[in-house]
Amino acid sequence: MQKRDLLYAGKAKSVYLSDDPQRLVLHFRDDTSAFDGKKKEALERKGMVNNKFNAFIMEKLQAAGIPTHFEQLLSDTECVVKKMEMIPVECVVRNLAAGGLVRRLGVEEGIALNPPTFELFLKNDEKGDPMINESLAETFGWATPEQLATMKSLTFRVNDVLKQLFLDGGMLLVDYKLEFGLFEGEIVLGDEFSPDGCRLWDAETREKLDKDRFRQGLGGVIEAYEEVGRRLGMSFD
Amino acid sequence: MQKRDLLYAGKAKSVYLSDDPQRLVLHFRDDTSAFDGKKKEALERKGMVNNKFNAFIMEKLQAAGIPTHFEQLLSDTECVVKKMEMIPVECVVRNLAAGGLVRRLGVEEGIALNPPTFELFLKNDEKGDPMINESLAETFGWATPEQLATMKSLTFRVNDVLKQLFLDGGMLLVDYKLEFGLFEGEIVLGDEFSPDGCRLWDAETREKLDKDRFRQGLGGVIEAYEEVGRRLGMSFD
Ligand SMILES: Nc1ncnc2c1ncn2[C@@H]1O[C@H](COP(=O)(O)OP(=O)(O)O)[C@@H](O)[C@H]1O
Ligand SMILES: Nc1ncnc2c1ncn2[C@@H]1O[C@H](COP(=O)(O)OP(=O)(O)O)[C@@H](O)[C@H]1O
Ligand SMILES: [Mg+2]
Ligand SMILES: [Mg+2]
């Protein structure tokens, strides 16, 4: 697999074409951002940690029958994925209240959400990733009702797999954001699953082990990501 | 029908018990508010105009087979309605982009929405009436999935009836908000339908004929409401 031209550079990853027109190379950078890109910093080792973390999780999901774009690791900070047409909609499931939900609805952080909630957001930094819904996505052509139904069902299937996986490592999967794309007409999980795009709390102490450490300036960000990985059996060296 | 104790006073209407335990009296006041109650003013004649406007529309909807709480006019500013347990969720349908949709999604005011969009908001002034969705409504117990499906279907049926009614009067029904309640276990349209809770534009000039005149300080608010009513065949004297 040969890396070719840069296709686009996001806030945390750079996406390269490859010698296979159906495959891309994702380069996980150390760049870390929050608040739609308003807070930015490079956190040493993050690219490597998230690349390996994501590979581990994507393989678990693939093994559970969830179609993902992940193909293989290419280097410490790069992996090969299916080249997809991304759907500009973020799918969020929450098991416990935190973050935007607490801010918007004024509910208490940490309360259990039964059943877990499902929300859609438009992936658009300029517009501040506004909350949308199935109706708006259909009318504005961001996704069809059928695609949205598949995305919702896959997002909940991810919950079934990962809630248990993290619990086995002594952690609570509080919430997470997924992005999907189209590959050969099929809805496939894309982007990444890492502590950058989910909330993970220690099951006993409720210590935050995810990007909220960065958002809230708590420090020990990458140390926490590595700790999460180790508890799941990953090795980063 | 005898009016009894005040049950509660909202921003625009006061709700009274009556000698019939199954019926309430709605008193339409002149009080007008916007921005979750932050802008307030009494607009002379508004209570009378909205009471009669609402009666006219509710009867049209009832005649089209949509269950409503409206029973009869009681005075110029009062009507009798079924006493309901209100569902704290606002249903919004939009035919053209305006207001919050334009602000949130950064789309151009006035573009046609095909198909018309459907959104849910939590009726809660303190929290700023945040956007919600079916999943959040279910998890927080605001409404069941079955109730929400009925509310959505009724809200779109209202569109079929009223879009044409206003068009026949030379107006565009841009968007509107409905509230529903439970009466004897059935989902029934409650609250009011008036230019306070919808957007109406002249079909030719796109002049605003609704509460946006108040929100935007354009003046001629009640004159516009009366003009809308007259175009539909109402008389306010
Ligand atoms: N398999 C894929 N095919 C094409 N694009 C992808 C794929 N997976 C992820 N992407 C896109 O690549 C970009 C990843 O970079 P990232 O730094 O996360 O960007 P952003 O700042 O938009 O979040 C995102 O725009 C994401 O949607
Ligand atoms: N049929 C009904 N039974 C009980 N309550 C109703 C009924 N119709 C409307 N309501 C409620 O009465 C109040 C109407 O007053 P309003 O001034 O519009 O209040 P608000 O400031 O909450 O919008 C609202 O809380 C509305 O939900
Ligand atoms: Mg991203
Ligand atoms: Mg009201």
The verdict on the CB of residue A80 being under 6 Å from ligand 1 is no
Any A CB within 8 A of B116 CB: yes
Per the domain annotation, does A113 fall within a domain? yes
Per the domain annotation, does A78 fall within a domain? yes
Tens-digit pLDDT profile for residues A70-79: 999 999 999 9
Tens-digit pLDDT profile for residues B211-234: 999 999 999 999 999 999 999 999
The total domain count for chain A is 2
The verdict on the CB of residue A196 being under 6 Å from ligand 1 is no
pLDDT computed for residue A26 by the predictor: 98
Residues B122 and B14 in one domain: no
Which residues neighbour A168 within 8 Å (Cβ) at sequence distance 6 or greater? Answer: none
CA-to-CA distance for B158 and B198, rounded, in angstroms?
A: 12
In SS3 terms, A78-144 reads as EEEEECCEEEEEEEEEEEECCHHHHHHHCCCCCCEEEEEEEEEEECCCCCCCCEECHHHHHHCCCCC
Per the domain annotation, does B229 fall within a domain? no
Q: Is the pLDDT of residue A37 over 90?
A: no
DSSP A140-201: TTSS-HHHHHHHHHHHHHHHHHHHHHHHHTTEEEEEEEEEEEEETTEEEE-S--STTSEEEE
In chain B, which residues have their Cβ closer than 8 Å to the Cβ of A139? 113-117
Residues B68 and B146 in one domain: no
- Tell me which chain B residue has its CA closest to the CA of residue A106: B127
Q: Which residue has the tokens 């794309």?
A: A181
Residues A209 and A201: beta-carbon distance below 8 Å: yes
- Mean pLDDT value across residues A162-166: 98
Structure-block tokens of residue B150: 């009925």
Confidence of residue B116 (pLDDT cuts 50, 70, 90): very high
The residue range of the domain holding B52 is: 3-82
Residues A68 and A12 in one domain: yes
Residues A71 and A183 in one domain: no
Per the domain annotation, does A68 fall within a domain? yes
- Mean pLDDT value across residues B153-160: 98
Residues A65 and A104 in one domain: no
Exposure letters A182-207 (e unless 16+ CB within 10 A, then b): bbeeebbbbbbbbbbbbbbbbeeeee
Per the domain annotation, does B194 fall within a domain? yes
Tens-digit pLDDT profile for residues A201-224: 999 999 999 999 999 999 999 999
Read off the CATH number of the domain in which B63 is found.
Answer: 3.30.200.20
pLDDT computed for residue A16 by the predictor: 98
Residues A167 and A55 in one domain: no
Residues A147 and A184 in one domain: yes
Give the rounded percent of residues in chain B with a pLDDT score beyond 90.
98
Residues A159 and A183 in one domain: yes
Which residues neighbour A229 within 8 Å (Cβ) at sequence distance 6 or greater? Answer: A49, A52, A53, A56, A235, A236
Per the domain annotation, does A236 fall within a domain? no
Residues A17 and A89 in one domain: no
The verdict on the CB of residue B12 being under 6 Å from ligand 2 is yes
- Mean pLDDT value across residues A173-179: 99
Per the domain annotation, does B231 fall within a domain? no
Residues A71 and A106 in one domain: no
- Mean pLDDT value across residues B63-69: 98
Contact A138 B115 (CB under 8 A): yes
Confidence of residue B36 (pLDDT cuts 50, 70, 90): confident
Contact B127 A106 (CB under 8 A): yes
Read off the CATH number of the domain in which B124 is found.
Answer: 3.30.470.20
Q: Is the pLDDT of residue B237 over 90?
A: no
